[in-house]
């Protein structure tokens, strides 16, 4: 039997907990945090297969910086999301 995928959700909004809960209901193993420093620590112990992060993390840098920090912590797939609909903020 295959192990369920592990997903770390990083966002400072309450919706992140909802996303983590829905992923859990779909069979994924999830963890959720709001702080990029904590996300790096959690990635070391939780060992996620994927990290879903908000691009704009208030007062704590951004999702791209977090992605660069996480790139040295394993082979997780990084998924960037944003509530900002402006074209300039898109990758």
Q: pLDDT tens-digit profile of 15-68?
A: 778 889 999 999 999 999 888 888 888 998 999 999 998 887 766 567 778 888
Least confident range from 2-11, 32-41, 82-91: namely: 82-91
Instruction: Look at residues 35, 40, 33 and name the one whose alpha carbon lies nearest to residue 70.
Output: 40
pTM, two decimals, is: 0.82
Band of pLDDT at residue 72, cut at 50, 70 and 90: confident
Q: How far is CA 61 from the centre of its chain?
A: 14
Q: Which residue has the higher pLDDT, 32 or 72?
A: 32
């Amino acid at each position: 039997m295959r192990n369920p995928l592990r997903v770390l959700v990083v966002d400072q909004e309450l919706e992140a907990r909802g996303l983590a809960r829905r992923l859990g209901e779909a069979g994924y193993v999830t963890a959720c945090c709001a702080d990029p420093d904590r996300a790096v620590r959690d990635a070391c112990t939780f060992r996620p297969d994927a990290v879903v992060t908000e691009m704009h993390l208030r007062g704590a840098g951004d999702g791209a910086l977090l992605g660069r920090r996480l790139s040295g912590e394993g082979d997780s797939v990084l998924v960037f999301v944003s509530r900002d609909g402006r074209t300039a903020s898109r990758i």
